[in-house]
Amino acid sequence: MTLEAAHAALLAHLEAQERPVREIDRTFYDTFDGLLHAGELSVVREGGRLSLIEPGSGAERAGMTSSEPNQPLLAVALASGRLRDALLSVVEHRALLPLVQVCSRVRPLDVVDDEGKTVVRMRLEEPTLVSFNGRDTALRPRLTLAVVRGYDKALTRVRYRLEHELGFRPADQRLVDEAVRAAGRAPAGTSSKIDAALSLRQRADVATAAVLRGLLEVMKANVEGTIADIDSEFLHDYRVAVRRSRAVQKELSGVFPPAGLARFRQEFRWLQAITGDARDLDVYVLEFDHYRAMVPEGMHGDLDPLLGVLRERRLAARRKMVQALQSDRADRLYAQWSSFLGALESAPQEDRPDAARPIGEVSGERIAKVYERMVKMGDAIDGSSPPEDYHDLRKQGKELRYLIELFGAPLYPSEVIKPMVKSLKALQDALGRHQDREVQVATLRSLSHEVSGLPGGTAALMAMGVLVEHLGEDERAARAEFAQHFGEFASESQRELVRDTFG
Amino acid sequence: MSKVLATYNVKGGVGKTSAAVNLAYLAAHGGSHALLWDLDPQGASTYLFRVKPKVRGGGRNLVRLKTDVDDVIKGTDYEQLDLLPADFSYRHMDLALDATKRPTSRLSKVIKPLRDEYEWIFLDCPPSISLVSESVFDAADALLVPIIPATLSSRTFEQLTKLVQGGPQVLAFFSMVDGRKTLHREVMEELRSHSSSVLDAWIPASADVERMGARRAVIAEFAPRSRAALAYEELWDEVGRRLEDA
């Protein structure tokens, strides 16, 4: 059906009023990892208004006037109100990036009732993708329907008539998705999950290399956003991929030639070290509102000098990190790691005892081994154990978690994996809180001198004292919870399940 | 958080509805989400927006918070502009309010859940001094008071200022002004010299304003370049500035 024919058909069959033709200019947003797309939501800026659009009805869930130019938006930085709350619940810390700009010539046709009142808004639209490199691309014309509040039944009626009497078909994709595809990108965004189609009998070195290649892709995909400081999740995802790679390097070392592996393990340790401070300080700044909530309300403002110091330190840590991430050493590492993985399958096997064994067997062994190691370590922990014992257990827990996520979940039945992950997660949360609180107390102590010298420093120090006390209490609470969570993690039935499945 | 503006005057026929409808349109046209609550049982603004003057459960259930206000709001012909329609039962709104606890804070309570959703809420009030108007004074951040520049208008304005003392900000503006009449010019000058609450922008007596009833549309739609349309734009700009200053 041509646009003209559609226009004529609509006017002939529906009680519709033509409104003046207009041009509209829209910018669509989504997060790097496509959180809006996953929920079939969209965020659009049109005519000085930023709106979160519902799936299906096209109605606005929340919106606000906004004259910001098209640049990344952080929900937390928006003025308080419905849009901020609604976006925070969907995207949290992730920035909304301008994805595509679509300019449309629109012929509005309003379906009216017997009073001449608009009850459904239709627009026949000829959209054009405004290319970022200057060339525009025509997209398919489409008819969009928008509900008028309080007239939902009219929308249902019009939609029925369009589909059953006038031969219109629902679009196979949303305008934003069509535009993103036309711009050569994926509407679902870039995921930090890896998808390395594994099978139990696959050669261990081939499967391991596939997983590690996936992780390298995640690292590379997140470097740019980390350097540009678009949001805190780029660095977080980058670091998780580094840590997961390190866990695989360590636990599946039998698939690699030892000499080659040793050098890469050292380089990955370097990557983790150069990104550590910046990430820790990201977390302090992101969680600062939680810290404020830990002190009495009258003291909330007293913590401002501390926030100032944390922000400065964060910037300094970022500068160092960015320098390292942009270095030749980092570029070389990605390239050499990639070719090392590519050559793995054909490398000699004498010093790689696990290389040709099935991945199901090798990874199962490692999962069972790390699990048993944790059970042993945890059994030895009692109320008088030093914090390091908890930390060491937590590190093992992370390795186990990565092994399960990367190999356990794709290869083994979910009725085994799910309860294991659940009890491990609860244990790790308690261990994590224990360690984080301890580190936070130490950090606050180390900053006290610098903060005390600032204007408002005395009040800040007093508030920090209260904060340290609360963090200490929370650390003790986490320690007290440990026994229960560990009990579940290391229960007889759980141990039996692990032995039967992986042993 | 939204701003609640009420167009109010004890007298009828001074341009309250025209102001409410045209200013609400301008708010929405500027990209904000705006709501107009037609509190007048005569339902003039509801009629202008071509919506049926009917609220399920009537005014009584609305002020007793028995009606989910979300369910009775209607979209208008203008994007971003919604209407909480009039209902004939609003003529007994005083009685309905009187039967509640703390009647003067009732309208506030009704619109409370809407304040997150709409940046601007306009209350188009019936001409009276009553529980309804007291309740409006409680709910509104500012009263927009149209004044016809006639002999008694300054007295009415003084009465009103006294009445709402300590309540919402009062922003008065001249309405239905005939620039050719010496009396109008004199009254405007005099009242402005006495009170800083009187705005500079004013709305002319105009056939376009009268035609709104026949066209059932805002002036900006059928006479966008008319004096009246421009006057409402100036008024809206000035209201915005005054609210910011306050």
Burial class of residue B19 in the structure, from the number of CB atoms within 10 Å of its CB (0-12 exposed, 13-18 middle, 19+ buried):
buried
**Do B33 and A60 make contact, defined as CB atoms within 8 angstroms?**
yes
pLDDT given at position A132: 64
Cβ within 8 Å of A, B 47-66? 49-52
Spatial distance between the Cα atoms of A479 and A433, rounded to a whole number of angstroms: 9
Chain B residues close to A82, C-beta within 8 Å: 116-117
Q: A38-52: per-residue pLDDT in tens?
A: 999 999 999 889 999
Q: In CATH, which of 2.40.320, 2.50.20, 2.60.40, 3.30.70 is domain A3-182?
A: 2.40.320
**Do B33 and A116 make contact, defined as CB atoms within 8 angstroms?**
no
- Å between A150 CA and nearest CA of chain B: 5
Chain B residues close to A114, C-beta within 8 Å: none
**Do A65 and B30 make contact, defined as CB atoms within 8 angstroms?**
yes
**Do A62 and B49 make contact, defined as CB atoms within 8 angstroms?**
no
CATH of domain A204-502: 1.40.20.10
**Do B77 and A48 make contact, defined as CB atoms within 8 angstroms?**
no
Of A80, A121, A149, the CB nearest to B74: A149
Q: Which residue has the higher pLDDT, A48 or A338?
A: A338
Cβ within 8 Å of B, A 42-61? 47-49, 60
- Measured CA to CA in angstroms, residue B87 lies from A12, B52, B59 at distances of 35, 9, 7
Helix, strand, coil percent content, chain B, rounded in steps of 5: 50, 15, 35
Chain B residues close to A111, C-beta within 8 Å: none
Element at A11 (helix H, strand E): helix A3-13
Q: A431-448: per-residue pLDDT in tens?
A: 999 999 999 999 999 999
Q: A286-295: per-residue pLDDT in tens?
A: 999 999 999 9
pLDDT given at position B124: 97
Spatial distance between the Cα atoms of A122 and B124, rounded to a whole number of angstroms: 30
**DSSP bridge pairs for B198:** B172
The residue among B29, B37, B50, B218 with the most chain A CBs within 10 A of its CB, best to mutate, is B50
Single pTM value for the model = 0.84
Flag whether residue B30 sits within 8 Å of chain A, measured between CB atoms. yes
Of B31, B74, B77, the CB nearest to A49: B31
Q: A444-499: per-residue pLDDT in tens?
A: 999 999 999 999 999 999 999 999 999 999 999 999 999 999 999 999 999 999 99
Give mean pLDDT, residues B232-244.
Answer: 96
Give the chain A residue whose CA is nearest to the CA of B114: A82
Helix, strand or coil, per DSSP, at residue A132: coil
Give mean pLDDT, residues B1-25.
Answer: 94
The residue among B35, B49, B117, B118 with the most chain A CBs within 10 A of its CB, best to mutate, is B117
Of A82, A148, A151, the CB nearest to B116: A82
Would you state the structure tokens that stand for residue B130, as one six-digit string?
């009553």
**Do B31 and A48 make contact, defined as CB atoms within 8 angstroms?**
yes
Q: What one-letter code names the amino acid at A100?
A: V
- Å between B77 CA and nearest CA of chain A: 5
Q: Where are the domains of chain A?
A: 3-182, 204-502
Pure H helices in A229-294:
232-251, 258-286, 288-294
Chain B residues close to A110, C-beta within 8 Å: 77
Spatial distance between the Cα atoms of A152 and B117, rounded to a whole number of angstroms: 19
Spatial distance between the Cα atoms of A246 and A266, rounded to a whole number of angstroms: 10
Angle at B114 between CA B109 and CA B116, to 5 degrees: 115
Q: A258-267: per-residue pLDDT in tens?
A: 999 999 999 9
Helix, strand or coil, per DSSP, at residue A135: coil
- Å between A48 CA and nearest CA of chain B: 6
pLDDT > 80? residue A350: yes
Neighbours of A182 (CB within 10 A): 18
CATH topology agreement for domains A3-182 and A204-502: no
| Mean pLDDT over each residue of chain A, to the nearest integer | 93
Give the chain A residue whose CA is nearest to the CA of B119: A64
pLDDT > 90? residue B195: no
Both ends of chain B: CA-CA distance in Å? 16
The residue among B36, B80, B115, B236 with the most chain A CBs within 10 A of its CB, best to mutate, is B80
**Do B32 and A151 make contact, defined as CB atoms within 8 angstroms?**
no
Closest to B31 measured CA to CA, from A67, A492, A21, A384: A67
* Least confident window among A265-269, A306-310, A332-336, B30-34: B30-34
Flag whether residue A157 sits within 8 Å of chain B, measured between CB atoms. no
Quote the distance between the C-alpha of residue B219 and its chain's center.
Answer: 16
Helix, strand or coil, per DSSP, at residue A344: coil
Query: How do beta strands A142-147 and B34-38 pair?
Result: unpaired
Neighbours of A115 (CB within 10 A): 13
Q: With beta carbons less than 8 A apart as the criterion, state whether A215 and A241 touch.
A: yes
- Å between B213 CA and nearest CA of chain A: 13
**Assembly ipTM:** 0.89
